[in-house]
Amino acid sequence: MAELTHFYHSFQPTHYDIYLDIDRGTKKISGKTTITGEAKNEAIAIHQKDLTVSAVQADGEDVPFTTDTKADAIRITLAKAGQVTLAITYTAPLTDTMMGIYPSYYELNGEKKQLIGTQFETNAARQAFPCVDEPEAKATFSLAIKFDEKPGETIIANMPEKKVEDGVHYFDTTVRMSTYLIAFAFGEMQSKMTKTKSGVEIGVFATKAHKANELDFALDIAKKAIEFYEDFYQTPYPLPHSYQLALPDFSAGAMENWGLVTYREALLLLDPDNTSLETKQLVATVITHELAHQWFGDLVTMKWWDDLWLNESFANMMEYVSVDAIKPEYHIWETFQTSEVPAALQRDATDGVQAVHVEVEDPAEIDSLFDGAIVYAKGARMLVMVRALIGDDALRAGLKKYFAAHQYGNATGADLWAALGDASGMDIGAIMHSWLEQPGYPVVTAAVKDGQLTLSQKQFFVGEGKDIGRQWQIPLNSNYDAAPAIMKDKEISLGDYKQLRQANGKPFRINVGNSSHFIVKYDQTLLQDILDHVDSLDAIAQLQILQDLRVLAEGRQISFATVVPLLSSFDNSHSAVVNTALFYLLSDLKNFVFPDTPEKKSLQVYFDQLSAGQLARLGWSPKSGESNDDQLTRPFVLSNALYAENKDAIAQAHELFTANKDNLAGLPADVRVFIIRNEVQHFGTPALFDQLLAAYRETNDASYKSNIRAALTQTPDTQLIAKLIEKFKDADTIKPQDLRAWFGGVLRNEHGEQAAWDWIRTNWQWLSDRVGGDMEFTTYIQVSAGAFRTPKRLAEFKEFFEPKLNTPGLTREIKMDTKVIESRVQLIADEKDAVNAAVAKATK
């Protein structure tokens, strides 16, 4: 394979004048880019992809050039090295790939419309204009854009518009920034504006297909977030405005373009009068994540993509720090415990997983770095660990210094550790090295051996894993002072257990607060002591017990059969985090039963037993003034009761459906999905199916849309499933951005699994052409693996994906997902009988 070199080494741009003429009718872009910079050699390379270059001039003179498709390059030979101004004239297609400059499609009053937007991360700026498309190649940019403009249309970009002349919109020159953060959008838009205390203009933009009040929540969060970060980072927001734009077609969740952040509609807009608390929390964290990037990522940028974690791990931690400050009533750190933590523990336990910091060169591999569970969730947990170690004062002082030293430039992980180390007086780099550079995490075994309380660490695996003796520097956070702050060794002894127990007066625990990235295996004595005092533990500690038991059981360190009898200690908890952890554990038990078997009946009885009390307490209808915990717990209880096929629950849902059948969108958003899904599963007809599919196409309420999807994909009618699958390629019904969720839904439906699996195997090439170029593509493999649990499916998965092992960007995912299915199949084979016996016993 060709050696990949950074173009920045041959040419260092300082300023771009970008002129674009975009025609939606002909789907053509013509452009001229003028780049001033310094050539380090006579032979230089500038990035391009799918551009047709007609001329290259250097300081006004035509110069020879070639386009190198394989390297995404225009290769130019200059008369001499040194300061030069290049002018490149080209044309490019406007494509429907959700990358580069692309159209989003939507309908307004039955009329089809387009909104043009951009998505350049990681390397699609080169599809829009020639540039040195590397994060280190920071420069200033002056944008001038012309388009087939109609009355009532507007255009926005990173910076404010300066003037319009002859139909060309000129924007203020940007500050020094990376190419992947350039953005603009035009079409018919509505907007809402406000200003921060410091005078930054905050805006939210969307198509006119949405109600105006859907923009309100985002406007409020965005304003408060910018104000929070200006204070927390002690560094002013560097641009005149911060715009948030919802795009109808968007591949990722959101993108932190500097000054013009783009979002999926579902992650920015919401109906303030009928949206679940869970969705509000999600939207708030997405906005605060992107706005954290305006400093961390945009103002100071990773030098190269290997330090992607610097951007993402940090933003993922800060989204919680800031929502906790802006909306303390959300208790958002509890959501961190129930979403990010299990995601990281799950994926990071599979051998072959990437480390948070990964060496990378190939553009196709760069996109595969965006592993949500590792670079985002694990990385965030790593930084939460740092924050717990050094405290907020040192964190803020360190960050202030870090921004001051590297603003408008680039940095590496070492630079951050140095700044935080200086501020805290601790060698943060040394502690974090083991977490950043090594994949996986340890299980710490706490045991009483010969009367001594001992701790030992060992890498934890779910499935087959090769132990190569990795060790971590583990912040222990014990409730006994005898335990050191950091455990560096493989094994340590804390002293005589009886004496320690007596002196401390409470059960021994480590990882209190669950802020370090490891799990604990207590021996029988220690675990029993904790369980005997379980009522005195806070919710996070209870969650942790359930979570660690589940993960340990998946890793075969204990048996699920031994966990089952413990669950009834938690089924009356009023805490949402405990109920979430219980729900995850119960969901794992579903793997051990198959349709139409006595074992499944028995598990349903067990689910009924565990949910009955809570169902009676919470009921189907949200009560005004009820606690967040109750609001967040109800969906789990309803889900369990419906899995149990509890007759009353089914009847009540049916009643609610019937009473509201003319205004389903008006059902309370927290429970709506269960009501509609129950109807499709138990009372479904082709007419209902058509009615819901039509409502899906019509509504602009993203939450309602996702409820309908979750319901329709669970139909037991195989003819309707076939009809649904026919819609997979119909972008007017199912947008490409939403296809994975539809596919995954049908795949997880026992009546639809075969059809969905057949579909993806038949249409892999189509799918690859459609979404293969972006960072979400590998998740189709993950979703498939997540649904499979039989030897037959394992064999089929291998047969289909093994020949694709050498596809850039797919290798790791295929290897890991094969292991995931293998370990699940083995677990079921080995433990099915014991687990089902334990369930039968518990249902007496």
Question: Shortest CA distance to 86 belongs to which of 169, 12, 179, 145?
Answer: 12
Strand ordering across the sheet containing 442-449:
491-496, 452-459, 442-449, 519-522
Tell me whether residue 319 or residue 670 sits nearer to Zn ion (CB atom): 319
Residue 654's contacts (CB-CB under 8 Å, 6 or more residues apart) are 678, 679, 682, 683
- Find the residue with minimal CB distance to Zn ion: 315
Tell me whether residue 92 or residue 310 sits nearer to Zn ion (CB atom): 310
Instruction: Annotate 581-607 with DSSP letters as a single string.
Output: HHHHHHHHHGGG--TTSHHHHHHHHHH
How many contiguous H segments (helices) and E segments (strands) does the chain have? 27, 28
Amino acid at 668: P
745-782 core/surface letters (b: 16 or more CB in 10 A; e: else): bbbebebbbebbbebbeebeeebeebbbbbbbbbbbbb
Tell me whether residue 262 or residue 445 sits nearer to Zn ion (CB atom): 262
| Burial status of residue 13 (CB atoms within 10 A of its CB: 0-12, 13-18, 19 or more) | buried
Q: What contacts 24+ positions apart, CB below 8 Å, involve 777-780? A: 777/367, 777/809, 778/368, 778/809, 778/810, 778/813, 779/740, 780/740, 780/743
Tell me whether residue 253 or residue 484 sits nearer to Zn ion (CB atom): 253
CB 425 within 8 A of CB 396: no
Out of 121, 227, 265, 290, which one is annotated catalytic? 290
CB 269 → Zn ion: shortest distance, Å?
19
| Burial status of residue 656 (CB atoms within 10 A of its CB: 0-12, 13-18, 19 or more) | buried
Build a one-symbol-per-residue string for 308-347: x at contacts with Zn ion by CB under 5 A, - elsewhere.
Answer: ----x--x--------------------------------
Residue 367's contacts (CB-CB under 8 Å, 6 or more residues apart) are 122, 773, 774, 775, 777, 809
Tell me whether residue 296 or residue 777 sits nearer to Zn ion (CB atom): 296
Question: Shortest CA distance to 721 belongs to which of 752, 761, 690?
Answer: 752
Three-state secondary structure of 398-436? HHHHHHHHHCCEEECHHHHHHHHHHHHCCCHHHHHHHHH
Which residues lie across from 67 on neighbouring strands? 74
Q: For the beta carbon of residue 40, count every other beta carbon within 10 angstroms.
A: 14
Q: How far apart are CA 742 and CA 371, in angstroms?
A: 21
CB 794 → Zn ion: shortest distance, Å?
34
Q: How far apart are CA 844 and CA 832, in angstroms?
A: 19
Amino acid at 2: A
Q: Does 375 engage in binding with Zn ion (CB under 5 A)?
A: no
Q: How far apart are CA 99 and CA 185, in angstroms?
A: 13
CB 198 within 8 A of CB 204: no
CB 264 → Zn ion: shortest distance, Å?
13
Size of the site for Zn ion (CB under 5 A): 2
Question: Shortest CA distance to 99 belongs to which of 132, 65, 133, 74?
Answer: 133
Determine which helix (DSSP H) or strand (DSSP E) holds 203, and give its type and residue range: strand 201-206
Tell me whether residue 180 or residue 217 sits nearer to Zn ion (CB atom): 180
Question: Is 290 one of the catalytic residues?
Answer: yes
Residues that bind Zn ion (CB under 5 A): 312, 315
* Catalytic sites, residue numbers: 290
